[in-house]
Chains A and B, each alone.
Chain A
Amino acid sequence: MNKKSNILKQAAAYPHIVWSVLFIIAPLIFVMYYAFTDKEGRFTLENITSLAQPSYLEVFLRSLCFAFLATVICLIIAYPVAYFISKTSPKAQKILIMLVTLPQWLNFLIRTYSWMALLEDTGIINTILESLNMQPIHMINTPFAVILGMVYNFLPYMIIPLHSVMSKLDNRLLVAASDLGCNQFQVMTRIVLPLSKSGIISGITMVFVPSISTFYISQKLGGGNFDLIGDTIERQFQTAYNYNLGAAMSFVLMILIVISMAIMNKYSDEDGGVIV
């Protein structure tokens, strides 16, 4: 009886599974097909092997680096914010979380444009600095600007999952821990941190993945002087018509992401993780 009802309950996932097969697996087969064939449709490994050039390897390495830094910075900024928000009244929490997501409701392209206006050498920040008789800082077209753009755009995706886990935290645990002699720091590392693990993992995924494949941010804030993998893929599909190479890059990128996630999960697993 119990088993039967459980199978029935599992059936709730079936629409999603059917959907996934139709609209996730099937399109993916097209990507694979392109990655392993040439322009005439013959099987080839050339697309994959051609990515072993030093210039492409550096693009991959750079993207990993940028995405990694953006994720770390997001986590560092978001963690305390999510914690403070979870400590406010439920009403305030609702409003604050709304305020966190609100910027995302405005168009991403336009927000990135605004950053351009802020960061330029003749931009708003430098104009203010100059009027205060301070040395202007060159920011636009540097890795710093690109990472800043990533952090800005994906920060809410870190705060929300963190907050959603922390708001569920049983406050009695914290009190108990301090009663049993933990100081504030120990409460954080021994109680809050382990219990918010699932939120951290969700957050990291939600920031890392879009960061590693972004192209608009690097084009607008990086000046197109150094490619990220997203730029390179976008170019294959939009200017170069080299679908095969583009598909091969996306394939490699996917494998890279899966590996990163697997590594992360291996060391943070224990309660199953949310990811893969």
Chain B
Amino acid sequence: MNKKNIACNIYTVLVFIFLYLPILVLIMYSFNSTDSTSVLKGFSFQWYKELFTDSATLNALKNTLVLAILSSVIATLVGTAAAYGISKMQNKYIKNATMSVTQIPMINPEIVTGISMMLLFVFVGTIVGTSSSLGFGTVLIAHITFNLPYVILLVLPKFKEMDRNLPKAAQDLGCTPLQSFFKVELPAIMPGIIAGFIMAFTLSLDDFVISYFTTGSGFETLPIRIYSMTKKRVTPDMYALSTLIFVSILVLLLISNLMSDKNRKEMSKKAKTIAKVSIGSVFGIIGIVTIIVLAMSAGTKTVKLNVYNWGEYISDGGQGSYNTNKEFELYYENLHYEKTGEKIDVQVNYTTFASNEDLYAKLKSGAGGYDIIVPSDYMLEKLHKEGLIQSLGKVDTITEAIPNLQYLNSQFKDMFVYPNENGELELYGAMYTYGVVGIVYNTEKISPEDLEKIENGEMGWEILYDQEYMERYKGQILQFNNPRDAFGTAMYHLGFNVNTASTDQWQRAYELLQKQKPYVQSYVMDEIYNKMESGEAALAAYYAGDCLAMAENNENLGFFYPKNSQGVFETNIFADAMCIPTSSQNKELALAYINFMLSEEAAVANAEYIYYSSPYTHVKDNLDYQIYMGYCDYVYVLDENDEYVLDENGDPIIELDENGNPIIEYFEDGDYSVIYYEEFENSLGSMFNSYAFKDLDTTVGASITTQDLNGYWEGLKVDSGSFDGTIYIICGIILVGIIGFAVYYIVITKKRRKLYWNNSPSAPQEKAEEKDDSMSETVMIAAVKAEKKKKD
């Protein structure tokens, strides 16, 4: 017996280790001293510090908690009532119909629930006539909806298990039906309710797909925030946050354990009163503070600006950096006060998306109510064509509305400019950043000959697509997990122009990608950071800035821009620009925001944060920025031991020339030279014309549509030529085993039953007579079935 107990304990412990293993890993990485989530470099608390300065994340956390509490409480109340009602239902069909409908949200894939609810909300919104029908309310409704079935499913069995005579007995003893419910039934089903509540809370806390589709401007939960980081990387401060949540719940658990029932009973009346008073006063203080805050904010007018940007795409005040949104709020409040003497409260509601396609779906649905969005070039074209974004102003006078546009590199002056019906040119997007796709590689995994070729600048896309190379790096190649970029690189390799290619040429690119599929390790977006940094993969194409960011965590990573056989660079170039959606309610504020984002301090901070190229001269020429990107540095005064000479503040002294200006030393390499690659720089404008992968639907000369491209991609992705089929065999064997067991079980049970009923033939009838109308009808069916069987 004892031995068995030990075995049981060991087994349970093993299962718990399994459950907690990944959590251990994430705790470990939360103390990492770099921003990698795959390479451990050293111990530090920096991500915890960062977390507490990151107001957007803290706000998202607050939203998540409020949402989880509200939705789970409402779902538990409605669900418990529903379970009670269902358990009392006698009409089999109504009962079954109710139960089936209840389970639909569980059966439906989350994404379908999310999308279908979005369609519904937007539909209702257009009927009612609001511009932004999505937001907190709709997310709450969606969460309650998918929480309900779980609550019902956990509470209903408790009603079934409960002895049906209990409430009756209670009523016989003088309880009113209400009393019998609260005194007898409720305690009996309490474990189910608690389990249901916890389940609902947990599900709501963790959901991202449904929230993602049903939310609009200004409401972002934590999972959405993390999910939106999937173009860039998931930052370790999320790990830090998870660790904190984990630890605090564990502590709560310990405390509740210490204050077990026993202790509570022993607790004196006085202690109980103190506990009550302290809980009461906490709530009281929260109430008073809320009232004060409300009263204070009642006096000033609140102006909201809804910004929808890529995840990890703005300097947000982390690690002592510039908090762009906060600075803008202050700046605009002052500006407005100086202009009008009126005090206002500006609020930037900053939310994030993961891809252009997501952004499009949100805008197209007519919901959102965004004032600023940041699409990429091709998406901007599409949005303009469909009338979803508005003009920022006429090109001739644009610098009056957005003065900082004067710093835009002249090569980009023609971008995002479209004529209106009078033939006047209007600007639709203020460039935010641009970048080029290149190839990142691991020097330790690349053969020396290939490495030499790369270093001599002789390597092109063939390293990803030629049979010889694919064989060599089989299972070590990462490919983009989106159709445009994957097809783009294949087209460049084949030497076709993505914007004018014929159907036949697309077909060839498709065949090339199909040929490459067995050699690809995985199709990735944000995971590329992990996989390249940890040395899991050898080769991948990705956006230049991100590649440099990876190289920071692994010194073996290199990067190059591919050339074609004529020695000419051939790769995709992209640009993201700030736009104002047609539905924006506050264009003036939006324009002020754009201008502020392009002001030197904000633009430099963002360029340093995003690591993509900036198209603005005042950023490119900014000394701090150049130093940050490793392009140059001050020359410092050194003593005879080659050590810095320090001034009275402990800072190293900068060497000055005869005019008293600091001497600056320039370096050949460094990230700056890679991002602003000279050979590109001179021809960027024309590169955009020939290489930027334009929107297939709106470009003249494109032989296929986006839908066709997606069709090709669909074909590539569902093709499973190289999939190992042993899993089907395993499945089949288990299935046969289960069916065998089931048959055996049914036969045995039948035999046993026969034996029983032969011995006491009157048993089933007696049972049937005993039951009154409140008897569970399922038992009745069983009894009737049994009777039938007997007759047979």
A: residues with CB less than 8 A from B are: 2-3, 5-6, 9-17, 19-21, 23-28, 30-31, 55-56, 58-59, 61-62, 65-66, 68-69, 72, 77, 80-81, 84-85, 91, 95, 97-111, 113-118, 120-124, 140-141, 143, 152, 155-157, 160-161, 164-165, 167-168, 198-199, 202, 205-206, 209-210, 213, 215, 219-220, 222-227, 229-235, 237-243, 246-247, 250, 253-254, 257-258, 261, 267, 270-272, 274-276
Bound together, the chains give a CA A253 to CA B104 distance in angstroms of 12
- How far, in Å, is A60 (CB) from chain B's closest CB? 10
Further 20 A-B residue pairs, CB within 8 A, beyond A98-B253, A113-B26: A13-B89, A16-B82, A23-B120, A30-B116, A62-B723, A72-B734, A97-B195, A105-B249, A107-B206, A114-B23, A117-B530, A121-B536, A122-B534, A123-B536, A161-B154, A224-B524, A238-B355, A240-B711, A240-B713, A272-B160
**In the bound complex, how far is the Cα of B223 from the Cα of A247, in angstroms?**
25
> Do B727 and A66 have beta carbons less than 8 Å apart?
yes
How far is it, in angstroms, between the C-alpha of A117 and the C-alpha of B37 when the chains are bound?
8
A77 to B720, CA, bound (A): 30
Q: Does B522 contact A (CB under 8 A)?
A: yes
A105 touches which of B29, B205, B723, B776 (Cβ 8 Å): B205
Tell me which residues across on chain A come within 8 A of B302, comparing CB atoms. Answer: none
> Which residue of A has the minimal Cβ distance to B242?
A106
Q: Mark contacts of B95-106 with chain A using CB atoms, 8 A cut-off: 1 yes-contact digit, 0 otherwise.
A: 010111111111
- Of the candidates B198, B227, B713, B730, the one whose C-beta lies within 8 Å of that of A239 is B713
Query: Across the interface, do A253 and B246 meet the contact criterion of CB distance under 8 Å?
Result: no
Judge whether B731 and A69 touch: CB under 8 Å: yes
Q: Which of B82-136 contact A (CB under 8 A)?
A: 82-86, 88-90, 96, 98-113, 115-117, 119-120, 123
Contact check, A110 vs B234: say whether CB atoms are below 8 A apart.
yes
Return chain A residues, CB-CB under 8 Å to B522: 141, 222-225
* B245: contacting residue among A11, A105, A120, A239, CB under 8 A: A105
Q: Report B447 CB to chain A, min CB distance, Å.
A: 19
Minimal beta-carbon separation of A228 from chain B (angstroms): 10
Q: Contact at B26–A19, with CB atoms within 8 Å?
A: no
B113 shortest CB reach to chain A, Å: 7
Which residues of chain B have a CB within 8 Å of any CB of chain A? Answer: 8-9, 11-12, 15-16, 18-23, 25-26, 29, 37-38, 78-79, 81-86, 88-90, 96, 98-113, 115-117, 119-120, 123, 141-142, 144-145, 148, 150, 152-154, 156-158, 160-161, 177, 191-192, 195, 198-199, 202, 205-206, 208, 222-223, 226-227, 234, 238-239, 242, 245-246, 249-250, 253, 257, 260-261, 355, 357-358, 360-361, 481-483, 517, 520-524, 527, 530-531, 534-536, 706-707, 710-711, 713-715, 717-720, 722-724, 727-728, 730-731, 734-735, 738, 742, 746, 773-774, 776, 778-779, 781-782
Whether B206 lies near A104 (C-beta < 8 A) is yes
Contact of A106 among B246, B718, B724, B728 (CB under 8 A): B246
- List chain B residues, Cβ under 8 A from A253: 109
Contact A111 B106 (CB under 8 A): no
Question: Is B96 in contact with A276, judged by CB distance below 8 angstroms?
Answer: yes
Complex Cα distance A238/B195, Å? 34
Are B206 and A267 in touch, CB under 8 angstroms?
Answer: no
A residues in contact with B105, CB < 8 Å: 24
User: Chain B contacts of A257 at CB under 8 A?
Assistant: 107
| A28 and B104 within 8 A (CB) | yes
Q: Across the two chains, which residue of chain B brings its CB closest to A161?
A: B154
Residues of B contacting A155 with CB < 8 Å? Answer: 15, 18-19
Residues of B within 8 A of A12 (CB): 81-82, 84-85, 88
Contact residue among A5, A30, A85 (Cβ-Cβ distance under 8 Å from B177): A5
A102 touches B106 (CB 8 A): no
Bound Cα distance from A115 to B436, whole angstroms: 31
- Contact yes or no, A213 B109, CB < 8 A: yes
Q: How far does the alpha carbon of A226 sit from the alpha carbon of B100 in the complex, in Å?
A: 32
Known A-B contacts A24-B104, A27-B120, A65-B731; the reply to A250 vs B523 at CB < 8 A is no
Instruction: List chain B residues, Cβ under 8 A from A95.
Output: 253, 257
| A117–B29 CB distance below 8 A | yes
Residue of B nearest to A18 (CB): B78
Instruction: Please determine whether A65 and B728 come into contact, CB atoms closer than 8 angstroms.
Output: yes
Minimal beta-carbon separation of B464 from chain A (angstroms): 16
Query: In the complex, A31→B120 CA distance in Å?
Result: 10
Interface of B, secondary structure class, is: helix
Docked Cα-Cα span, A99 to B731, in Å, equals 31
Interface contact B26-A13, CB-CB below 8 Å: no
Nearest A residue to B226 by beta-carbon distance?
A: A109
Q: Which residues of B contact A250 (CB under 8 A)?
A: 108-109, 112
Q: Which residues of the partner chain B approach A14 to less than 8 Å between Cβ atoms? A: 85
Q: Taking CB as reference atom, which chain B residue is nearest A195?
A: B161
| CB within 8 Å: A-B pair count | 365
Task: Give CA–CA (A23, B138) in the complex, Å.
Answer: 11
- Interface of chain A, helix or strand or loop or mixed? helix
Q: Give the distance in Å from the alpha carbon of A237 to the alpha carbon of B37 in the complex.
A: 29
Contact of B710 among A19, A152, A240 (CB under 8 A): A240
Beta-carbon contact of B112 and A233 below 8 Å: yes
Is the CB–CB distance between A16 and B19 below 8 Å? no
Q: How far is the CA of A213 from the CA of B174 in the complex (A)?
A: 51
Contact A198 B157 (CB under 8 A): yes
- For the complex, give the distance between the alpha carbons of A66 and B99 in Å: 27
A-B contact pairs, 20 of them (CB 8 A): A2-B773, A6-B773, A9-B84, A16-B81, A27-B119, A55-B720, A58-B718, A69-B730, A95-B253, A104-B202, A106-B26, A108-B208, A110-B26, A110-B239, A115-B22, A120-B530, A155-B18, A161-B154, A202-B157, A272-B160
Return chain A residues, CB-CB under 8 Å to B153. Answer: 161, 202, 205-206, 274
Which residue on A lies nearest to B81, using beta carbons?
A12
Counting chain B CB atoms within 10 Å of each CB, the highest count among A114, A202, A257 belongs to: A114
Give the complex CA separation of A225 and B245 in angstroms. 34
A103 & B20 in contact (Cβ 8 Å cutoff) = yes
Q: Which residues of A contact B774 (CB under 8 A)?
A: 2, 6
Q: Which of B8, B535, B714, B715 has the most chain A CB within a 10 Å cutoff?
A: B714
Q: Is the CB of A276 within 8 A of B25?
A: no
- Given A107-B206, A116-B527, A250-B108: A15 and B78 interface contact (C-beta under 8 Å): yes
Residues from chain A with Cβ under 8 Å of B148 in the complex: 16, 19-20
Chain A: CB-nearest residue to B77: A15
- Complex Cα–Cα for A156 and B110 (A): 19
Q: Which residue of B lies closest to A68 (CB)?
A: B731
Q: Which chain B residues border A198 with CB–CB below 8 Å? A: 157, 160
Residue among B112, B142, B245, B481 with the highest chain A CB neighbour number at 10 A: B112
Q: Tell whether, in the assembled complex, residue A242 and residue B15 are in contact, meaning their CB atoms are under 8 Å apart.
A: no
Residue of A nearest to B21 (CB): A118
Contacts of B222 on A, CB cut-off 8 Å? 107
CB neighbours of B234 from chain A (8 A): 109-110, 113
Query: In the complex, A115→B250 CA distance in Å?
Result: 22
Nearest Cβ distance between residue B661 and chain A, in whole angstroms?
A: 48
Measured between alpha carbons, how far is A126 from B288 in the docked complex, in Å? Answer: 56
A103 to B191, CA, bound (A): 21
Q: Are A6 and B90 in contact (CB under 8 A)?
A: yes
**Residues in B neighbouring A230, C-beta threshold 8 A:** 109, 111
State which of A26, A91, A107, A222 has its C-beta within 8 Å of the C-beta of B260: A91
User: Whole-angstrom distance between the alpha carbons of A21 and B20 in the complex?
Assistant: 40
**A-chain residues with CB within 8 Å of residue B720 when the two chains form the complex:** 55, 58-59, 62, 226-227
C-alpha gap A223/B84 in the complex (Å) = 45
B226 touching A102, Cβ below 8 Å: no
Partner of B82, one of A2, A13, A85, A209: A13
- A34 to B160: give the CA distance in the assembly, Å: 39
- Closest B residue to A72 by beta carbon equals B734
Give Cα distance in the complex from A27 to B253, angstroms.
39
Q: Which residues of A contact B156 (CB under 8 A)?
A: 274
